[in-house]
Chain A
Amino acid sequence: MRDTRHQAWYLGPCFQLGLSAVLLSAAEVLMKKGATASLILTGMTPLFNVGALTWSVTWIGIVLYVVSFISWLYVLRLMPVTQAYCLISVVHVLVPAAAWLFLLESISLSRAAGIALVLGGTLLVGAPTTQRL
Chain B
Amino acid sequence: MTLLAASMCVLCQFCLVIGQLLLKHAMNATRLVPVPWAAVGWNLAGGISSLGLWFFTWLGLLRDWELSRLFPFEGLSPPLLALGAWIFLGERISPRAWAGIVLVGCGVALVAEG
Contacts and interface: CB of A to CB of B under 8 A. Distances in A.
Is the pairing of A and B real?
A: yes
Interface string A8-46: 000000000000000000001101101110110000011
Interface residues of B, number: 44
Contacts of A98: 67
Contacts of A56: none
B111 A111 contact: yes
A60 B71 CA distance: 19
A87 interface: no
Interface of B: 20-21, 24, 56-60, 62-63, 66-69, 71-72, 74-75, 77-79, 81-82, 85, 93-94, 96-97, 99-114
B81 A99 contact: no
B71 A92 contact: yes
Interface residues of A, number: 50
Secondary structure of the B side of the interface? helix
A7 interface: no
A124 to B, nearest CB: 3
Given A111-B68, A125-B78, A35 B63 contact: yes
A32 B78 contact: no
Contacts of B63: 35-36, 38-39, 49, 52
Q: Among B74, B77, B102, B111, find the residue whose CB has the most chain A CB atoms closer than 10 A.
A: B111
Contacts of A133: 20-21, 24, 81
